[in-house]
Structure 1
Amino acid sequence: MATEAFEELVETFSFLDEWEDRYRHLIEIGKDMPPMDPALQTPASKVDGCASQVWIVPRTQDGRFDFIGDSDALIVRGLVAVVHSLFAGLPLDEVGQVDAAAELGRLGLQEHLSAQRSNGLRAMVARIQQHAAAAR
């Protein structure tokens, strides 16, 4: 049930055998994200449970989910980009049906993320799925 953008990311990661290469790619996709307006980086948009500062501003258009996200840490900004590729563009009613742990597991990141980053990733997913459920 992953988006086309996420499938492309999975394919790219499958070509990267070394964790260091995946780590670099994660940083690069984070750098490629458009910057978030600092005015949106408020306590209401801050994701609790992340070691780094993470902000997510969900939005919907024509019944489809999207969000603007950012982080003050390069690797976490990359994780925001990964989560964006997983959920952006999905119909609202499909967002909650995504098995994010299984989909993200396809990237092989879990064994290389610290416990705090893994918790932060779960917190981002929870925030997104809660917003989509409330917006339906």
Structure 2
Amino acid sequence: MSLSSEASQALQAFQQARGWEQRARLLMQWGDRLAPLNEREKTEDNRVHGCESLVWLVANQQGGQWQFKATSDARLLKGLLALLLVRVQGLNSAELAKLELGAWFTELGLERQLSPSRSNGLHAVLQRMAQLASAA
């Protein structure tokens, strides 16, 4: 699967970062880029369960390609969500189902910073994306 230009930008930025402090700063910056969800989108139906923090996910399919919006009340998780979203935007359902989340975060150099609960939360988001894609 090829990377979008935004995913390539993220990969380049994180691969050039030296150490966890620079990566953490980058994570916060990417999280700040997330399009905000309005209060109507922050519903129980859009909430992702399986995350320790509050996470909401909104999906829209256009021409067979998925577009997602997400946010969280946790700043670090917002950055991780932003990196997940740049990786999945524009994928079709089959590509979404094949995405190796662990491999993406390893490429970014963030796998060591993913605590088991954060990792489980991101997998819950990806599973929710896959559910929405298979239901469409």
Distance, in Å, in 2 between the alignment partners of 1:91 and 1:121 is 19
TM-score by length of 1: 0.92
- In the other structure, the counterpart of 1:117 is 118
Percent sequence identity is: 34
Distance, in Å, in 1 between the alignment partners of 2:2 and 2:36 is 24
Segments of 4+ moved more than 3 angstroms = none
SS in 1 for 2:86: helix
The 3 A distance-change label for structure 1 pair 92 and 29 is same
What residue ranges of structure 1 are gaps of 5+ in the alignment? none
Q: CA RMSD in A?
A: 1.3
TM-score by length of 2: 0.92
CA offset digits 1:75-121 (Å, max 9, x no partner): 11111111110100112332112222212221121211222111111
Q: CA deviation at 1:2?
A: 4.5
Distance, in Å, in 1 between the alignment partners of 2:19 and 2:64 is 39
Distance, in Å, in 2 between the alignment partners of 1:48 and 1:92 is 21
Distance, in Å, in 2 between the alignment partners of 1:134 and 1:12 is 35
1:103 is aligned to 2:104: yes
- In the other structure, the counterpart of 2:71 is 70
